[in-house]
Structure 1
Amino acid sequence: MGVNETKLISDYGLAESIKNSNQGVFELVFNYYYSGLVIYADQIIKDTAISEDIVQSVFMKLWETRESIEIRSFRSYFIQCVKNRCIDHLRNQQVKHRFDNRIPDANHLVMEEDLWTKNELAELIQNAVDDLAPRCREIFWMSRYENLKVAEIAEKLNISKRTVETQISKALKILRVKLVDYISVLILYFFY
């Protein structure tokens, strides 16, 4: 039996062990090939961290598909897988680079104030406020738009502070429900 035949038999035996979920054999194969494959990938990618990620992803894929693998030579299998992943990575980088060049940098965009935020959002809020019961709307308006304190509203309308607090709380709950789809935009609008 020649050296190549022995190698094929041992690779076949290792592949069968991995196929049968033998983690010890998988770790043995990983430890034997990992560093050489990272060096190989790094010659193509020129970034060690990405090369390590690529090699790890090849081993993860091997483990995930272990039950259906047919490997005659681990060396050939790994070289081909790593090469393909490197090519995929480089293609993705080229596509990303092309699109990055087409999309203007946000720091260089000249925009007037965000019209959608100013107009559309204000209209949504106003419609929701308009739908409140008259007394609730009046109290909410005085609180949020006239910036009156609870005590000032109570005195002005000749009602208790507790009634004012209850009406403001009720208005906020109703608005939260009506504007639930816009909460993230509202947070940005009011807090940034």
Structure 2
Amino acid sequence: MNDDELICLLKKGDELSFTEIYDRYWDKLYFIAYKLLKETCVAEEIVQEVFLTLWKKRESLSIKSIVPYLAAMTRYAVYRHAAQIKKSKRQENLLGILNVEAILEIDINQKILLEIITNMSNKLPEKCRMVFQYNKLQDMPLAEVAENLNISPKTAEGHLTKALRVIRANFDGPMSDLLFFILVMRLFIK
């Protein structure tokens, strides 16, 4: 059969004509896609997509010559694929920039919060301040802090409780509960 006869049968839903077109032109379309993409798997997928579209839209297609038509479908599929890849890379780059900015902002906020807490803790009585700073700011276990300061673990725990109470009381305004929560989360969850 010639191409015109195959197209006519294809429009009527003849699967054998579709198979014949597929067998005749798959290699040629793959060559076009591979030449543009230089990727075997992607070229194969694009050719499959072209044939799938051909079958799905067979009744509405107006094909004068099948070879240029399929070649054009393949090129456009490659261009769409390239555009999607480019868009995806742009989005990845944008997300990367946003993530870096968010991380920098979090770091800055943590540094500011740490400075506020350090300044508040410096106003505490000496033992209370030392227990708080060793335990919360230097991440030293409370038992080790007690041992280093030659106090009992219960006394160290009392100093820590007092320090947290005083620091919380120093937070003023409607954001105090939120800031204290952030502080506690930051200090206790590492």
What's the TM-score, normalizing by structure 1? 0.49
What's the TM-score, normalizing by structure 2? 0.50
Higher relative CO (Cα under 8 Å, sequence separation at least 6) belongs to 1
